[in-house]
Amino acid sequence: MLTLVNVALLGQLAFQHPEEADKEPKDCSFEQIEFTINFAVGRLNHCEKTGDNKYRLFLEPEREKINPSPWYAFAVKNKTETSQTVAITLVASEGVSRYKPKRSEGDDIWHPIPFSEGDGTLQFELTLSGQTKEYIAGQEIIDNVHYIEWLSSLIKEPQQTEVISLGVSSEGRNLAALEHRVESSNKWIILIGRQHPPEVTGALALLHFGELLFSDEPYVVKFRQKYNILLVPNMNPDGVYHGNWRLTAAGIDMNRDWKNQTLPETQALTNYLKKLVENGGQIEFAIDFHSTHRNVFYTMPKDYESPSGVPLRNPRRVYDWIEEIAEMVDSVELDYQSGDHPESGVFKQFIADEFAAHAVTYEVSDSEDRNNIKRVAEAALISLINRLD
């Protein structure tokens, strides 16, 4: 249960502009059916009726020629008293949506919908009983308010752990984080997620990883007394709210901005990390959670040196970590790929160059079984604690 202090913090950190509450797609209200997006993460551009109970719904990105990650989330309301089945075709610009349709009655329980593909579209049918509403989305909906409530629920040692704001986004939303401090240690673990709004399987991995990390399990309680932790589950709250395909509200790919630091979001975390180091802290390891077409860990090369010529600390650790994860969950296909891209502006490169520490981009397959996501996240945490302990 949230305390009174946390309830107040929830309202502060989950700030959303009131004028955004009435967002609606174009031409999406019909005599018998209505499609709406007046909720956080909702996204649908416009609609057309193509026949009896047949509708085409169009998906547009926040910017042309974007990375092909067509996100959609909308509610379907049956305006009649009787049950009806509607045929829906999703038409996405910039490529077929990589996210397959799921449905929910608004209770956070999501069910896959049978679908077919063809001519760059996704097609499926939906049966609605009279005067009901269902939510359709490419993945489970995890909005900004959920993250604040979740962070508050993780606090086990109030004297050491608190929900803080690192700063604000382009549109004024707070960057909420969980900060866990140990006076006897200068070592820090950094965890971030949701730089790209639709990458929900990576978000699910981070949520399970974080819940285990701040659980009452003896091995993690012991670990938390040795390491400081910064957990920032939602780096792009504006993009998440708007249901963006990839970018921030400023129209920038955040995971290409860590070199140039043009965004208030990247600047806020950078300032926090630099202050930690100035005050004697040492970043030991960082993980950035994402989603893509397969399960893969992107790492820095073993022999990488920062621009100042400083080699990364414990160069073998990250590879031993990944190999152990693969052994622990050998029924799940995992891969890793190393590489350095000094001009790319990605987070793992920034951590290596700025702090001479290893960082990993933890990518989860878009279609991975949800139990497997949890299994890999648990193995990743157990193995990491073994490597760091």
**234 CB neighbour count, 10 Å cutoff:** 30
Query: Do the bridges between strand 358-365 and strand 296-299 make them parallel or antiparallel, or are there none, so unpaired?
Result: antiparallel
Which of 66, 62, 40, 115 minimizes the C-alpha distance to 367? 115
CA 300 to chain centre: 22
Residue from 287, 292, 341 nearest 317 by CA: 287
Q: Strand, helix or coil at 226?
A: coil
Burial of 202 (0-12, 13-18, 19+ CB in 10 A): buried
Q: Give yes or no for a contact between 133 and 156, defined as CB atoms under 8 angstroms apart.
A: no
- 55-78 per-residue burial string, b: 16 or more CB within 10 A, e: under 16: bbbbbbbbeeebeebbbbbbbbbb
Q: Identify whether 265 is a catalytic site residue.
A: no
Q: Distances from the Cα of 293 to the Cαs of 141, 239, 255, 290, 375, in angstroms?
A: 19, 21, 17, 11, 18
Beta-strand pair 228-232/282-292: unpaired
How many CA atoms are closer than 13 Å to the CA of 295, on its beta-carbon side? 23
Of these residues, 60, 354, 363, 378, which one is catalytic? Answer: 363
DSSP 29: B
Q: Which residues are catalytic?
A: 363
